[in-house]
Amino acid sequence: MKLSLPMNRKEKFPPHLFVQEFPASSIIYKKKKGACTMHLTTYRTSIILAIAFTLMLSAFWFFPDLAFIIFLSLLLQLLLQPPVDFLQRRKMPRTLAAGLIIIAFIALLMGLLVLLSLSFLPTFRSFVADLPNITLSLQNIPFVSESDFLRAELSDLLANLRSLGADLLKSSLSFLLELFGKFMAFVIIIFVTFYLLKDGKSIKNWIAGLFPQTARRRVLNLFNDILRALRVYIFSQIVMCAITGTVVFLYFELTGLPYASVFAFLSGLGEFIPVLGPTAASAFGVFLTATESRGLVLQTVLFYTVLTQVNHNFVYPTLIGKSLNLHPVAIILGVIFGGEILGPAGMFLAVPFIVIVKLVIADIYHDQQETLRQNVEGDA
């Protein structure tokens, strides 16, 4: 039996049957298919950003000294930019304002060096001279003396520290040449920082001009986000360094422990290497306490524990808010990787670099999500 359908199907069949003929899943699939059909030019800005920051990472590997100078100059520019902007708002030419702030920074740095040479270096010399006695005292601690592994590791560590301290204190031709090289690097950093303060906005606009016209606003916003996050990080680390150094100095003075300025300096400096730095400084402080007064060991452990918890659960979040939000594992891996490339300088620069990479990746991801959303809406 032959069946024939009427020509006008809508007269015989209700509308919902036609919806079942073309289910929603096929419509969604069509949208997804359309959304995934994109030209490479859609993501050209993201591709350029990824390539640019890949090249920047490569520069740290192949040209570490040059990359260190540029990156440190950028961080110093972020630190000095607010007072320069303040003077410019008071009708001072930006070139003159940048020059005055640079001179004031150098004067402040020289003052700090003089202060350190008067208070820190004598104590440090005494600490280096006393390292052999500290080594013997540490090896006589019960849980250390019972472990051959700990005794061997402790002997190697303190031998290296003793050698390092002697190298820092001796005056030789190689040391003077190295000091001259560091001085030249400092001069270059100062000049680069001056021009970044003077022409920073022009340089930023010039870099943004290398991107397609439609993406320049996005690139400028990304630059501003990066600079804002780095500025927050720098100021927060300086405050953390000052707070930690002061508190540790007061604790050592009040408890009568020696080398207060040395361990205050190490503890403050350790804040510039997140997670690993404070941990290492705390361990050194506890070990020194064990050699001087074993009755204060538990108190010192409690002091460093409370200090670390207060700093990283209250002070640090208050300073940075949610602008960084980096996981400790990412920080530790970044610090280790930076140390492998640039040594101590790389450990110091690791977190700022991670901040930049995170913001660039987040920008690329959000741009891709926005492009997908627009394509889906366009196919609707």
What's the angle, vertex CA 18, arms to CA 12 and CA 23, rounded to 5? 160
pLDDT digits (tens, 9 = 90+) for 199-214: 988 888 888 887 778 7
pLDDT surpasses 70 at 234: yes
Q: What value does the CA radius of gyration of the chain take, rounded to a whole number of Å?
A: 30
Which of 1-15, 162-176, 301-315 is the most confident on average? 301-315
pLDDT of residue 304: 92
* Residue 39 backbone zone (phi > 0: left; psi -120 to 50: alpha; other: beta): beta
If one compares 227 and 52, the residue with the highest pLDDT of the two is: 227
pLDDT of residue 229: 83
Least confident of 48-62, 141-155, 184-198, 278-292: 141-155
pLDDT surpasses 90 at 102: yes
pLDDT surpasses 70 at 178: no
CB 198 within 8 A of CB 102: no
Q: Residues of 173-212 as b/e, b for ≥16 C-beta within 10 angstroms?
A: eeeeeeeeeeeeeeebbbebbbebbbebeeebeeebeebe
pLDDT of residue 191: 93
- Residues 208-227, mean pLDDT to the nearest whole number: 82
pLDDT of residue 167: 52
pLDDT of residue 14: 47
pTM, two decimal places: 0.68
Tokens of 268: 């403050």
pLDDT of residue 197: 93
Cα separations in angstroms, 277 against 97, 233, 265, 367, 375: 35, 16, 12, 36, 48
DSSP symbol at 374:
H
pLDDT digits (tens, 9 = 90+) for 291-346: 777 788 889 999 999 998 888 778 877 777 655 677 777 778 888 887 777 777 77
pLDDT digits (tens, 9 = 90+) for 255-271: 988 888 888 988 988 88
Q: Where are the domains of the chain?
A: 214-369
Which residue, 76, 161, 160, 119, is CA-closest to 264?
119
CA distance 50 to 24: 37
| pLDDT grade for 36, boundaries at 50, 70 and 90 | very low
Q: Residues of 255-275 as b/e, b for ≥16 C-beta within 10 angstroms?
A: eebebbbbbbbbbbbbbbbbb
Least confident of 4-13, 52-61, 84-93: 4-13
pLDDT of residue 153: 62
Which of 6-15, 149-158, 171-180, 245-254 is the most confident on average? 245-254
CB 192 within 8 A of CB 70: yes
| pLDDT grade for 15, boundaries at 50, 70 and 90 | very low
CA distance 334 to 351: 7
On average, the pLDDT of the chain sits at: 75
pLDDT digits (tens, 9 = 90+) for 80-98: 999 999 999 998 999 999 9
CA distance 74 to 194: 10
- Residues 108-127, mean pLDDT to the nearest whole number: 81
Type of residue found at 86: F
